[in-house]
A and B are shown apart, each in its own frame.
Chain A
């Protein structure tokens, strides 16, 4: 959504809910007091947008995630609870396991990991550890052969080595055996997407944070007419410092007053992020590396920063996804129409 005061004015919900017991309205109750609600919402560093960007990237890399129709429920380690207010309807909680692949002899998918992708997910709201003997009936089965190292396509991208089970992989009562996951820890509402480590691809280099923030407002009369603005951009990957500097372009709209801002070449700093912000939703990644600089001669107005194919240190690029603003691609779009000034004079 583009910047508009109306989003904020409508954002204090007052009614509660008959249908949902103790619905946690939280921010919805106080939204009209939160100035963030009236800012532009097309923030390329927004958590949910970055996570969905990663999903789409994985679909582009793994044909099975894009098109595999064969969904197999491999097992669940769950129990029923009665939640307050649910009037006898049970809620199932625990760990679920599914795998996806092409339907054999029907679909012919080619590319990375064209065989199997295995997913674990939980609806527990605390971190839980699942540990089962691979010889027990509860063992966590996998679509892979024993000894395979599997790697998570979601953060923190960890590895697991699969152990022997009692189940023959080729159904001939002898080795090799089907892979068993002996021990796994699941974060609150966490999920894992596991593929053989040999078929694993790293996430695309991407922005994780922009300071002072997307659509941040800076008062120029409050800081004595200061025309410098400090900015920093954080990434999920170690980037090329010069590459980011060259990939970043500025577009200043200042109604004909003042010139164009520039980077202070001596102010550019790159390096590891020491205390990254904690993640707020499952699947999100933390900042690893940051680029910062001071902008000089920034006139009053609207400054748009665009990052075009910034290269990582290993040469991969961010692609067209992360631009600091904006949006639906290469067209001209009017985004901000605000009632500006109401101005009565002499009476009324």
Chain B
């Protein structure tokens, strides 16, 4: 197994785990632009890991509901998400 990718790809370089440029906001819509090519499932948390979304199939851009950031439980300022991704390895064996 080898992994190839840009230095910002956290699947390849796990130290690249802090990235403001991926989290966008435009016309009232929060977006997250994924860079971890190689992952096939992703999920995110909008409250520092207390709640997570379901694992979903890879998408280049995730659209995030802005109401998630409006909760009165969010005692911090600003918006913050943690994104996780994973790679499910499948091997097929054959008998001849």
Which A residues fall within an 8 A CB radius of B? 3, 5, 38, 40, 212-222, 229, 231, 251, 253-257, 298-306, 308-309, 320, 323-327, 329-330, 332-348
Q: Which of B76-93 contact A (CB under 8 A)?
A: 76-93
Closest to A334 in B: B88
Knowing A320-B93, A330-B92 are in contact, say whether A348-B77 is a contact too (CB < 8 A).
yes
Q: Is the CB of A218 within 8 A of B86?
A: no
Closest to A215 in B: B1
Q: Is the CB of A221 within 8 A of B7?
A: yes
Beyond contacts A222-B7, A342-B82, A345-B80: 8 other A-B pairs, Cβ-Cβ < 8 A, are A3-B14, A215-B1, A299-B37, A301-B5, A340-B39, A343-B80, A344-B23, A345-B25
List residues of chain B with CB within 8 A of the CB of A298: 4
List residues of chain B with CB within 8 A of the CB of A221: 6-8
Highest count of chain A CB atoms <10 Å: which of B5, B32, B92: B5
Q: Is the CB of B83 within 8 A of A341?
A: yes
Contact of A219 among B13, B14, B84 (CB under 8 A): B13
Highest count of chain B CB atoms <10 Å: which of A256, A320, A336: A336
List residues of chain B with CB within 8 A of the CB of A303: 1-4
List residues of chain A with CB within 8 A of the CB of B2: 212-213, 215-218, 229, 231, 302-303, 305
Closest to B1 in A: A325
Interface check B94, CB cutoff 8 A = yes
Knowing A302-B38, A347-B78 are in contact, say whether A339-B17 is a contact too (CB < 8 A).
yes
Knowing A333-B89, A341-B10, A345-B78 are in contact, say whether A324-B4 is a contact too (CB < 8 A).
no
Q: Which of B7-39 contact A (CB under 8 A)?
A: 7-15, 17-20, 22-23, 25, 32, 34-39
CB distance from A304 to the nearest CB of B (A): 5
Knowing A309-B96, A348-B77 are in contact, say whether A338-B10 is a contact too (CB < 8 A).
yes
Contact of A323 among B15, B20, B91 (CB under 8 A): B91
Q: Is the CB of A300 within 8 A of B7?
A: no
Question: Whole-angstrom distance between the alpha carbons of A217 and B10 in the complex?
Answer: 11
Question: Whole-angstrom distance between the alpha carbons of A38 and B16 in the complex?
Answer: 14
Highest count of chain A CB atoms <10 Å: which of B15, B17, B19, B38: B38
